[in-house]
Amino acid sequence: MQQIKDQQLVKNFSYINGSWHSSASNIEVTNPATGEIIAKVSNAGIEETQLAVQAAKNAFKAWSAKSANERAKLMRNWFDLMMAHQDDLGRILTLEQGKPLAEAKGEIAYGAAFLEWFSEEAKRVYGDTIPAPSQDKRIVVIKQPIGVVAAITPWNFPNAMIARKAAAALAAGCTFVVRPATQTPLSALAMAELAERAGIPAGVFNVVVGDDARGIGEVLTQHPDIAKFTFTGSTAVGKSLISQCATTVKKVSMELGGNAPFIVFDDADIDAAVAGAMVSKYRNAGQTCVCTNRIFVQSGVLAKFTEKFVTAVKALQVGNGVDEGVTIGPMISASAVADVAKLVDDSIAAGAKVVLGGKQGQGENFYQPTILTDVTNTMPIAFNEIFGPVSPIIAFDNEDEVLAMANATEFGLAAYFYARDIGRIWRVAEGLEYGMVGINEGLISNAAAPFGGVKQSGNGREGSKYGLDDYLEIKYLCMGGLDK
Ligand code: SIN
C-alpha cells in the first residue's frame, strides 16, 4: 500500500456517521496476485451495523430536505475528487481485487460516472398531474425519497457497484449503508474518505466492513428503519436475501447471476465479433455478471471465428495487475479457480476439446485463458455461471435453433450477438429473453444505460433515467372540494 500517493485514502476502519470506527478484531485483506496481506481492517459486526442504520435514519431528514441542486453540488464534488484520485483509487483496487491497473482505473471512471450522472438526474425527479374523474377533484403525483437504503456489494467491482447504487440513492434524497465484500473493503473505505472531503454530511453514506455476513445481512434486510435493500451478487444468495426482506416488506432491487450467450451469425463481421468476444468474456478475468458464458457460432463461420479468437486470446498477458503490459489478472481466490477447473474438467469428460489453456495458471489464484470447442448446450458449463476466463464454443445451424438454446436458462441478464442483416437483428434482439442485449457490441455497461436483468437475474434497473425510480416512492395527492 506504500505505492498509494495520498495515504489518507488507505483506511482500516468502518465509516459510520462521519467517523472511523475500530473494532476488537481485524479482517486481513490479501492481494490475489501475490497472496500478500496488504491491510488489516477492523471487523465490524451487528452492533456497528445498527449504529450505521441509526446514523442514516438521523441524517435522512436533513439530506432529503436539501434541494436537488444542493445534493447535486455535493455529489459533483465527490465525482471530481474520485477523478482527481483515479490513479490512487485504481491502484488500491488492483491491489485488493487483482484486475489490471488500466482496467481498475477504468472502473474508477465508470463508478465516478454514476455520481456525475445522478447528480444531474437529481434535478429531474418530475411528478405528474392526471385528469380527475370529476370536476371537484385534482390528481397530483409527487415522488419522494424512499428513506434509508441498505446495500450489499460484491468484490468484482469494489468501486463501481457501490457508486452505481449510492449515487442513485443519494440523488433521490435517501441515505445509505453499505456492506462491501470483505475481500475488497479498501476501495469502499477510500470512497468514504472522498465523500467526507466532498462535504457529504455525516450519516448520509456509511460503510460497514465485517465478516459476519449472516448477522450483518440480517440487520440490513430486516431492520424496520431500512426502507429499501439492494444487492449485487449470486442468484442463490439474492433469493435468500429477498426472503429476509419480506419480513418488513422492503422495496428490493437485485442484480444477480447471468449466463450470457454471445452469438456469431454467418453474416457477422468476424473481426468485430472477435473483439467483442474478447471484451465481453475476458474483462476482469471473466468475473463479471455480464460476461459471455456461452459462445454460439454458426457453422459457416465456425472455423474462421475460432481461429481468429484463439489468436486473440493467446495474446493476453496474464500476471500481476500492477505490472506493465498485463492484460488479465488473477481470479479472486483459489476456490474460485477450483470451481472453474471443475467445470472445464467435466466438459472435457463429456466430450469438449481444449484448444487453448485448460489448466491452473502460474499461481494458485490464476487460471489460464481457455477456449473449449465441441461444447453442447446441455453440458454443465453451459448452464452454470463460469465466472472465470473460459470460453465454451457451441456450433449452431439456424436462427430458431440458436434463440432456443440462448434462452434455455433461468438467467436473463446480458446477451450479445453479431449480425448484419437488419431483419435478423430485430428478430434476435426482440427474441432474446434478457434485460440487456449488445448488438455488434461487447461492452454495454455505462451510466446512461439501464443495467439489469429479467428472469432469475434480478429486478430493478441501475444507471440511466430509470435508475432513480428504485429509490423513490410515488405519492398520489387527491385534492377534493374544489367546486364553487
Ligand atoms: C457485474 O458484474 O455485476 C457488473 C458488471 C458491469 O457493471 O459491467
Three-state DSSP class for residue 29: strand
Asked whether residue 43 is assigned to any structural domain, the reply reads yes
The DSSP H or E segment spanning 399 is helix 399-407
**Residue 226 and residue 53 in contact, taking contact as beta carbons nearer than 8 Å:** yes
Q: Determine if the pTM surpasses 0.85.
A: yes
Each residue's pLDDT tens digit, 162-200: 999 999 999 999 999 999 999 999 999 999 999 999 999
Instruction: Check pocket membership of 290 for ligand 1, CB cut-off 6 A.
Output: yes
The pLDDT confidence band at residue 481, using thresholds 50, 70 and 90, is very high
Q: Which of 117, 161, 434 to mutate to test the pocket of ligand 1 (most atoms within 8 A of CB)?
A: 161
Q: Is residue 455 part of a domain?
A: no
Tracing cell 372540494 back to the chain, one arrives at 481
Nearest CA, atom 6, ligand 1: 445
pLDDT digits (tens, 9 = 90+) for 351-396: 999 999 999 998 999 999 999 999 999 999 999 999 999 999 999 9
Distance between Cα 157 and ligand 1 center (Å)? 7
The domain that contains 376 carries what CATH number? 3.40.309.10
Q: Do 141 and 224 share a domain, yes or no?
A: yes
Residues 293-346: tens digit of each pLDDT = 999 999 999 999 999 999 999 999 999 999 999 999 999 999 999 999 999 999
Checking if the pLDDT of 27 tops 90, the result is: yes
| Residue 206: φ, ψ to 5° | -125, 140
pLDDT at 1: 83
Residues 98 and 226 in one domain: yes
Backbone angles phi, psi at 63, to 5 degrees: -65, -45
Assess whether the C-beta atom of 287 lies below 6 angstroms from ligand 1: no
Phi and psi, residue 131, nearest 5°: -60, 130
Q: Which atom of ligand 1 is nearest to the CA of 255?
A: 3
Selected catalytic residue, list 289, 385, 399, 462: 289
Distance 136 CA to ligand 1 centre (A): 50
Same domain as 230, residue 84: yes
- Which of 235, 287, 451, 462 to mutate to test ligand 1, by most ligand atoms within 8 A of the CB atom? 451
Report pLDDT for 2: 86
Identify whether 45 is part of a domain: yes
Number of structural domains, the chain? 2
Do 136 and 243 lie in one domain? The reply is yes
Structural domain range at position 99: 7-256+463-476
467: pLDDT confidence band, cut at 50, 70 and 90? very high
Residue 82 and residue 111 in contact, taking contact as beta carbons nearer than 8 Å: yes
Task: Residue 116: give its domain's CATH number.
Answer: 3.40.605.10
- β-bridge mates for residue 294, sequence order: 261
CB of 291 within 6 A of ligand 1: the answer is: no
235 lines ligand 1 (CB under 6 A): no
What does the DSSP assignment read for 130-186?
E--SSTT-EEEEEEEE--EEEEE--SSSTTHHHHHHHHHHHHHT-EEEEE--TTSHH
Which residue, judged by its Cα, is nearest atom 3 of ligand 1?
Answer: 289
The answer to whether the CB of 331 falls within 8 A of the CB of 388 is yes
Is the CB of 156 within 6 Å of ligand 1?
yes
Q: Which residues contact 369 (CB under 8 A, 6 or more apart)?
A: 282, 313, 316, 318, 328, 356, 357, 389
Q: Which atom of ligand 1 is nearest to the CA of 284?
A: 2
Q: Are 438 and 444 in contact (CB under 8 A)?
A: yes
CB atoms within 10 A of CB 261: 28
> For residue 159, what are the CA distances in angstroms to 154, 270, 445?
9, 34, 14
Q: Is the residue at 405 inside a domain?
A: yes
Residue 109 is predicted with a pLDDT of 98
C-beta of 157 in contact with ligand 1 (< 6 A)? yes
Same domain, 176 and 45: yes
Kindly state the DSSP code that residue 67 receives in the 8-state scheme: -
Instruction: For residue 137, give Cα distances in angstroms to 127, 275, 283, 361, 478.
Output: 17, 59, 56, 70, 7
Helix or strand or coil: residue 49? helix
Q: For 45-67, what is the mean pLDDT?
A: 98
Ligand 1 centroid to residue 475 C-alpha, Å: 32
The mean predicted confidence, pLDDT, of the chain is 97
Residue nearest to ligand 1 atom 5, measured at CA: 288
- What does the angle CA 412 – CA 416 – CA 417 come to, to the nearest 5 degrees? 130
- Find out whether the beta carbon of 153 lies less than 6 Å from any atom of ligand 1: no
> Any catalytic annotation for residue 255?
yes
Could you report the per-residue pLDDT of 85-126, keeping only the tens digit for each? 999 999 999 999 999 999 999 999 999 999 999 999 999 999
Query: Is residue 289 annotated as part of the catalytic site, yes or no?
Result: yes
What pLDDT does residue 362 have? 85
pLDDT of residue 179: 98
154-163 pLDDT per residue, tens:
999 999 999 9
Phi, psi of 340 (to 5 degrees): -65, -45
Sequence-separated (6 or more) residues with CB below 8 Å from residue 196 = 15, 18
Q: What is the pLDDT of residue 213?
A: 97
Note whether residue 456 is domain-resident. no
